[in-house]
Structure 1
Amino acid sequence: MTTSPVLTWEILENRGYETAWARRTETSLHARGRAVGMTPEPYWISYSLRTGDGFVTRELRVTAESADGVRELVLRHDGTGRWTVGGEPRPDLDGALDCDLGLCPLTNTMPVLRHGLHRSGGEREFRMAWVSVPDLTVYASTQTYTRLEGTGDGGALIRFVSGDFRREVEFDADGFVVDYPGLARLVGRGESPARDHG
């Protein structure tokens, strides 16, 4: 089954918005998105995301535009655990399967779908290639997802923990963020014709 949702979130933390045009199959996710933020300074973000089987990130391309100019990032995963940033090896990211674009609710979807956390119980710890915005610096990040309970629409409430940061995030039945307290909330969802966003 393939779905092609168009998702729009209000991004509370940076007083902005994000829209993602996604294509999700049973095993992969391709998407492109555009975001605008006002904090810490006005900026635009454009990105494209491509995963392989098992929702494992293969490539994230990001462009950020602010008063300082335009910055670009190409983050790639070789499918076996090794990463490059701008073509340069990043051994500190070895073992990570996912990217996590800062303030981007879409990139919380891949680990949830891979392990079915929106459908059944469990706790999982992940190593992530986390991208700070708007500067596009990439860091290794340890994150834990714990399914707390199901929701009436077939989704789930999942606790997200990274260091001292923790939130109870609501996901829908398709594994997309509905409510991320203090960070983002879904304000619109539609469907677009199926297409390849890679």
Structure 2
Amino acid sequence: MSTRHLARTWEIFPDRGYSTAWLGLTGSRLAARGRSVGLVPEPYWVTYSLETTDAYVTSRLHVTVETAASARTLDLRNEAGRWTADGEYRPDLDGALDCDLGLCPLTNTMPVLRHGLHRQPGTDPHHFLMAWVSVPGLDVSANRQTYTHIARAEHGARIRYESGDFRSDVEFDDDGLVLDYPLVATALTR
């Protein structure tokens, strides 16, 4: 089975930064590594690696955040539905299939690819429980999110993303990657 290699860079608005991801898609698996830089709340660097199993289900997210004062790491794993953060079992994440790394547009890709939301017009809302990781703090929490395909676009689709009181109509390309995420990010490479 061949692997498609892709790379994307986004401008990230909330932290006045940039994020680049290099990924490989093999069948229904994704492997990626990325780097981000942000200026808010203080200058920081993020490096991460992400692996999924079949159906784009997160198996591991390893993240390092560096600031002037410190460096922190997080090893988030999903083994057959049992999530751990740095080896500690997280029962609040039971039922989650995906991670969502804060300010990282790449992590919106897995549920979109799994359900073909970038290709299927008129689908019902899809509700997810995510293992959400804050940046730069690396705190992990359970987060409920909804993705709804609302329209085909020239090179993909617009999908409504909702979580709590936040709502945004995000444009994805035909590869299932974010092109434009209003108020959050826009792709600089396509």
TM-score, normalisation: structure 1: 0.92
Match of 1:38 in 2: 39
Paired residue type of 1:55: Y
How many Å separate the matches in 1 of 2:105 and 2:55? Answer: 19
CA shift at 1:26, angstroms? 2.8
1:113 partnered with 2:113: yes
Q: Which residue of 1 aligns with 2:95?
A: 95
Aligned counterparts of 2:179 and 2:3: Cα–Cα separation in 1: 20
Residue 24 of structure 1 and its aligned partner are, at CA, apart by 1.0
Q: Residue 38 of structure 1 aligns to which amino acid in structure 2?
A: L
Taking the aligned partners of 1:159 and 1:119, their CA distance within structure 2 comes to 14
Q: Which residue of 1 aligns with 2:82?
A: 82
- Structure 1 residue 133 and structure 2 residue 135: aligned? yes
Higher relative contact order (Cα pairs below 8 Å, separated by 6+ residues): 1
Q: Who is 2:188 aligned against?
A: 187
Q: What displacement does 1:67 show? A: 2.6
SS in 1 for 2:175: coil
Query: What one-letter code is carried by the residue in structure 2 that aligns with 1:127?
Result: L
Matches within 5 A, 1:153-192: 153=155, 155-189=156-190
Q: CA deviation at 1:119?
A: 0.7
- SS across alignment from 1:4: strand
Q: Identical aligned pairs, as a percentage?
A: 60
Q: How many residues align?
A: 187
Cα offset for 1:6? Answer: 1.1
Q: Which amino acid aligns with 2:85?
A: V
Deviation at 1:122, TM superposition (A): 2.8
Unpaired runs of 5+ residues, structure 1, are 190-198
For 2:33 and 2:103, the matched residues in 1 are separated by: 15
Whole-angstrom distance in 2 between the partners of 1:122 and 1:157: 14
Kindly report structure 1 stretches of 4+ aligned residues shifted beyond 3 Å: none
What is the deviation of 1:141?
A: 0.1
Secondary structure of the residue aligned to 1:48 is strand
- C-alpha displacement of 1:3: 1.4
Task: Summarize deviations over 1:141-175 as a string: whole Å, max 9, x none.
Answer: 0000000000112x100000000001000000010
Distance in 2, matches of 1:165 and 1:140, equals 16
Provide the secondary structure at the position in 2 that maps to 1:188: coil
Cα separation, 2, equivalents of 1:32 and 1:122:
31
Quote how far apart the aligned CAs of 1:187 are: 0.2
Distance 2:49 2:173 in 1: 22
Q: CA deviation at 1:68?
A: 3.0
Q: Quote the residue 1:62 is aligned against.
A: 63
Q: If the length of structure 2 is used for normalisation, what is the TM-score?
A: 0.96
1:54 CA drift (Å) = 0.4
Distance 2:188 2:3 in 1: 22
What letter matches 1:66 in structure 2? T
Deviation at 1:50, TM superposition (A): 0.3
Say which SS state the counterpart of residue 130 (structure 1) adopts. strand
